[in-house]
Chain A
Amino acid sequence: MSKVRVLVGTRKGAFVLTSDGKREQWEVSGPHFGGWEMYHVKGSPADPNRLYASQSTGWFGQLIQRSNDGGKTWEPVGNKFVYDGVPGTHQWYDGTPHPWEFKRVWHLEPSLTDPDTVYAGVEDAALFRSTDGARTWQELPGLRGHGSGPHWQPGAGGMCLHTIILDPSDPQRIYIAISAAGAFRTDDGGQTWRPINRGLYSKYIPEPTAEVGHCVHHVAMHPARPGVLFMQKHWDVMRSDDAGDSWQKISGNLPIDFGFAIDVHAHEPDTVYVVPIKSDSEHYPPEGKLRVYRSRTGGNEWEALTHGLPQSDCYVNVLRDAMAVDSLDECGVYFGTTGGQVYASADAGDHWAPIVRDLPAVLSVEVQTLQ
């Protein structure tokens, strides 16, 4: 019998939600690491019981936790993130040079094949890798060494590397995204990188079509079609059909194309989900209606999914890492809100119900489909 395990990172701890394949009855475990900010929790595709979690507070800094039993028990592992060589400077909010300083881990991406290999996207933006189960970390310095690093500037949430996508068809290819530098790709396992932002247009930067400087909020890929990428930019929903070499706008009939989260259906590579959010700084759903939008055409044509979601007086946000899908026959879709709800749909978004309603603000949601 299939099972689903939903890994939820919140502002005040981590939660593990489990259900059988029907996804109707849920068990809630947690809070794990109560009181700590859990930016991200993710399982290894190669060993589903191997989980990695990013734990931090402003008081006591960054920790990494590892579980070998699916989240029942945890052990702290390596938390020493040291930039390679002389870190140098990036641009501060006012355009002055600012030294690179490690603050926290935003995203952990376990290898597709090796449970002991895991990547970490950090603030200030850099990519680290561990090959010993997160005991030690080494930076992949080619990213910051790309040459544009001194010109990167933080977004409102800090200068974070928040998205890491491993190409299942090519172990040498990795995509990452940074707020507010943009998206980058390596084709040689992380030695060298190039910005992949052609086609992005950001009217809030001095040169709207600049090579770097775009506030990319999140990127998603379907594993069966790794050359096709979907992006939620600060404004604009975008699509690339050539591994990021060029992008086209697919916002189409969305009521607003600002947002954070984006994901792709597990079995339909052209079915994409976003959650439009009002901006500038409001950052809640337009009209107080929490609506997921689904495109079955790879973009441009979007339908609102509302059944089971609050359609009045809803003023939560859905953050960039807070949406995920399972891979059961009927694809499940999940997202968490800053109001502490985790919503699940067992029918690809047609109907929604909250798994939990009153968690701390949700920072991330990941899903494991277990046999």
Chain B
Amino acid sequence: MIRFQEASYAYVKTDPVLKGINLEIGSGLTLLVGPNGCGKSTFLKMAAGVEKLDSGRVFIQGFDLWKDEVAARKNLAYLPEQPDLTPYASIKEILDLVCRLRKEPLKKGREALEFFGLEKVSERTVRELSMGQRRRAVFAACLIGSPPIYPAG
């Protein structure tokens, strides 16, 4: 479950994107719909712990996202709009890091690579992958540890 409590956020102080949001998202598929630029992606970034709220709190499965950072984040896997991977590590290394952080054996990373057909390109960095391969790599990372919540942009 994701719970927003009096959540506010602004990229520019004078122009808030989210203002005093109180919301609870339960289990199952929840779709977020709205016009362009209304803050859907920003909302997801808040839910995934990518951006910190200016005020208010976010709870993931009862854990405060910014006070119990590790416990809360263990319950989610964020799938961003842009496959946002670092160019300073290969896909395999990134998946190893994810395995280590989610306390999963490294073989889970190999299995995820295999499942998404990325074994042959696993030694490559994001710069040498097509957009589709990048998306698959982020998918593979998300599946490691099977967390219950997937905020997906």
- Co-complex (A, B): no
Chain A interface residues (CB < 8 Å from chain B): none
